[in-house]
Structure 1
């Protein structure tokens, strides 16, 4: 797996954490409004069905292990439920991830959290950038509104078979 994919997944994890934090705030606001508006609010609260849990965690321990792998330059890992999303930058021809590199990355992620069932890895520059930005913003205390929706969209595009 390429480093870019690792970074991408790490960025996704960070974005997921931020989105989940923001969703919690929105949910409480929506709950107050639902008392006044009734059924209409239930429609707003119903999220689209995806394989992505709305609680996003940044998995720094996994990212640290991943960057120790030969050819991995940078990694960010976001965890939602039993899924890990790794955004990586790798030092390989055309930033491609080999199956062997992907297997090594997945092994390192699972070694930090045995509850992880699925590891999705990408070196896609857009994915890497979004996840890296998310992680950076969270660490600097910046608001990350809209991240969850962006994260869900890019994950569904990059990993269409993910369940």
Structure 2
């Protein structure tokens, strides 16, 4: 028979290990596009320690310099990940309203915005009963960047904690998986990953980019910001064609 004290000691050790494991996994939600929960972890998903987007203040130039001499792929439709350590990194993007419309026919979905990069598709979803105009932080529709400069979303001195990237926005894993499958079916072969989120802050910033484009703004000015944004919203959550 196992002594009572030994049993209590062993249970205590196991409980401690469970607490440690829970703490280690608490950095991000286990839901689709839930993003980073703790503002203390935001920095590890930045491409560079400089968050501002103003050229006069030191834009994240390291990657831009690295990419300057890269040659074009022989097959433009082939899979070419720009950085093997960062599946999100991009230098080209476009909106795809033709892909968004079929997704909006899904039950429980009121609006969808689809943004395509070289190898990824990003889907901003507004489920029924949600309004990102109300649920998101006001900064999502502010902090404009232009070719002449601007601090952007991450260049302010207000701190990371003001923005909640951990809110799943009411999107279920079932609906997220369904949308991913639909997007892959509609996508050209170069789109290898699909990232879906209903986080109201992510949705609102993507909508902001779209509005900027409609006003004639050159979206390349937001490229650094976007590369930081998607790392925070999708640190590990992705689905692949392969």
For the pair shown, the structure with the greater C-alpha radius of gyration is 2
Asked whether 1:118 is paired with 2:138, we answer: no
Asked whether 1:130 is paired with 2:208, we answer: no
| Residue of structure 2 in register with 1:152 after alignment | 227
For 1:69 and 1:43, locate their aligned partners in 2 and report how far apart those are by CA, in whole Å: 38
| Residue of structure 1 in register with 2:97 after alignment | 60
Relative contact order higher in (CA < 8 Å, ≥ 6 apart): 1
For 2:177 and 2:63, locate their aligned partners in 1 and report how far apart those are by CA, in whole Å: 41
For 2:214 and 2:185, locate their aligned partners in 1 and report how far apart those are by CA, in whole Å: 24
Report the count of equivalent residues. Answer: 125
Structure 2, unmatched stretches of 5+, are 1-32, 34-54, 56-60, 68-81, 131-167
Among 39, 64, 73, the alignment partner of 2:110 is 73
The two structures have a TM-score, normalised by structure 2, of: 0.45
Shift of 1:143: 3.9
Structure ranking higher in helix proportion: 1
Structure 1, unmatched stretches of 5+, are 6-25, 27-40
Choose 75-84 or 95-104, whichever is displaced more.
95-104
Shift of 1:117: 1.9
Choose 78-87 or 46-55, whichever is displaced more.
46-55
Distance change (3 Å), C-alpha of 1:91 and 1:44: closer
- The root-mean-square deviation of aligned C-alpha atoms, in Å, is 2.9
Q: Is the 8 A contact 2:169 2:200 kept in 1?
A: no
Distance change (3 Å), C-alpha of 1:142 and 1:110: same
Distance change (3 Å), C-alpha of 1:43 and 1:96: closer
Shift of 1:44: 6.0
Distance change (3 Å), C-alpha of 1:71 and 1:145: same
CA-to-aligned-CA distance 1:97-120 (integer Å, 9 cap, x gap): 112201221122122214222110
Shift of 1:92: 6.0
